[in-house]
Structure 1
Amino acid sequence: MSQHFKETPQNAITESKIARVIPCKELDVGDPIKWLALGLRDMLKTPGLTVFYGVMFAIIPWCITLLVAMTGWHLVIMPAIVCFMLIGPFLAAGLYDISWELEKGHKPSLRHSLRSMRRNAVNEWGFGILLMILMIFWLRVASLIHALYPPYLDETLESLMPFLVMGTIVGALFTIGMLLITAFTQPILMERKVDLATAILTSVNAVWVNKVPMLIWGGIIFTAVVLGFITGFIGFVVLMPLLGYASWHAYIDAIATKRERKYE
């Protein structure tokens, strides 16, 4: 387990003076696999709650894909996947709560997990609104890329390739930016009475100073999302709860505390 603390580096993040940055721990490249193992343990302990949230996460991309089919904009399928990745951290709050309750030695409940957003309500809902704004922004960018596609060209792979490449590059940059912002923000807001700016800057700093482990973790998340879509969203019933539980353990490993956690 990673127990080494990194001194908060002096960089543009910590020197921004927007908010304080909570120190992070030093992560190992093998930590993402450990988080998955801990997430699987939590799944096996709470099968009923896991299925409930898993079904919720399966319905959401189904609705997104239905909207894509209704619009006929095939080029926005990839942006829709990215949008799902944006919404995920916000909706995963209930899963974080379940892992947190297990860590305390308590018995998780659906009611308790659904009320998890009330602990730091103003900042947590502010975070949700931020994600919605970013989602809308990304959809506008995707629409712009789609508008650049000449209507007289056939929808062949060769003709679509320039636009697919452009969309992939822009989407990759946007997804990396979202990993910085969302990796630890939600669990920070759940456990600590801090403002939104502090949570976001802390998340950005923790990802930035642990680039390799967090890129591996981001790759795992993206792979899970792709697998979920390939399986017709059925895979999300298992994959999204697993990622949610694992993300809580990632937060515990990554963000430092002044005192050791002692649960009753």
Structure 2
Amino acid sequence: MPQTAPVPKSGSRAPTRTPAFARVIPHNQLSYRDPLHWLHLALRDVVAAPSVSLFYGMVFTLATFAIWVAVLLQGTHLVIIPSLVVFMLVGPFLATGLYDVSWQLERGKKPNLFHSMRAIRRNRVSEWGFAILLAVMMIFWMRVAAMVHALYPLNQDAHFEQFLPFLSLGTLFGALFTATVFALSAFSIPVMMERRVDMMTAISTSVSAVYHNAGVMVVWAAIIGAGVALGFATAGLGMLLIMPILGYATWHGYIRTIKTKRPRRFE
């Protein structure tokens, strides 16, 4: 006999549900010691999964080295920005593999390369959308940078005062762009990968977590920036170890920051 849904009583109110789209997942309050602890846990993950870590490190190393080669062959630094656009499009997917390695270790499993690569497909629609969003933002930044560069003095012997408009606007827009990208991407990919939520929920959660932990996030952003700068300064060789560490640390940062209904290991 078919069952019918119960009819609400007169005057009763139907239960409301939290919207599934663009919601903010609750997050914790961080301390300034947390980023260093994330790095400590990341080093443990590198030791626990050396071969998989080496693979992803080599991919990032080759990508960085390719940018250096492009600069040398073209004889201009202008190819760096287009290369970074491609890097921003591919990077989130590579990082997803690293997140999966830490996730598997957290669950007491032995990570492997095939499983980590399959993790890229866990929420591919949202992750592709996010990667394209980052690429569009990079292209927008290219246009802004070109307009700011128009303020650069044509005379190479110009006084410092003539460089001030270029330096001031370049620094201002660069800082705003960097802060925006960092807030959008700090925890978005881990949220999308583990929870399989929509892109806007992941972005809203990341921005909220960064905003309410601004001081700690500035420290974490400085660590990331220093690591990436060191990797480029070594023509990509440093990326072999730096990127796996930063990837694993980002996952542990996500575990520590974003609240969840099930218990987590954070030692």
TM-score by length of 2: 0.81
Write out per-residue CA displacement over residues 207-243 of structure 1, whole angstroms, 9 at most, x where no aligned residue.
Answer: 0001111110001001111111222221111111100
Is the counterpart of residue 153 in structure 1 residue 155 in structure 2?
A: yes
Q: Distance in 2 between matches of 1:261 and 1:121?
A: 25
Measure how far apart 1:129 and its partner are: 1.3
Q: Which residue of 1 aligns with 2:258?
A: 255
Please list, as runs of the form range in 1=range in 2, the aligned pairs for 1:96-111 lying within 5 A after superposition. Answer: 96-111=99-114
Q: Which residue of 2 aligns with 1:173?
A: 176
Unaligned 5+ segments in structure 2 are 1-19
AA in 2 matched with 1:193: R
Is the counterpart of residue 144 in structure 1 residue 147 in structure 2?
A: yes
The one of 48, 51, 54 equivalent to 1:51 is 54
Q: Distance in 1 between matches of 2:27 and 2:75?
A: 45
Rate the CA distance shift 1:78–1:51 in 2: closer, same or farther, 3 A.
same
Please list, as runs of the form range in 1=range in 2, the aligned pairs for 1:86-235 lying within 5 A after superposition. Answer: 88-150=91-153, 152-154=154-156, 158=160, 163-235=166-238
Q: Distance in 2 between matches of 1:154 and 1:80?
A: 28
Further displaced range: 86-95 or 129-138? 86-95
* Identical positions, percent: 51
Rate the CA distance shift 1:103–1:162 in 2: closer, same or farther, 3 A.
same
Further displaced range: 135-144 or 22-31? 135-144
Further displaced range: 243-252 or 136-145? 136-145
Q: Distance in 2 between matches of 1:155 and 1:240?
A: 40
Say how many residue pairs are matched.
245
Measure how far apart 1:199 and its partner are: 0.6
Q: Distance in 1 between matches of 2:231 and 2:79?
A: 17
Greater C-alpha radius of gyration = 2
The one of 31, 37, 40 equivalent to 2:34 is 31
The one of 9, 18, 23 equivalent to 1:20 is 23
Q: Distance in 1 between matches of 2:150 and 2:157?
A: 14
Q: Distance in 1 between matches of 2:254 and 2:109?
A: 19
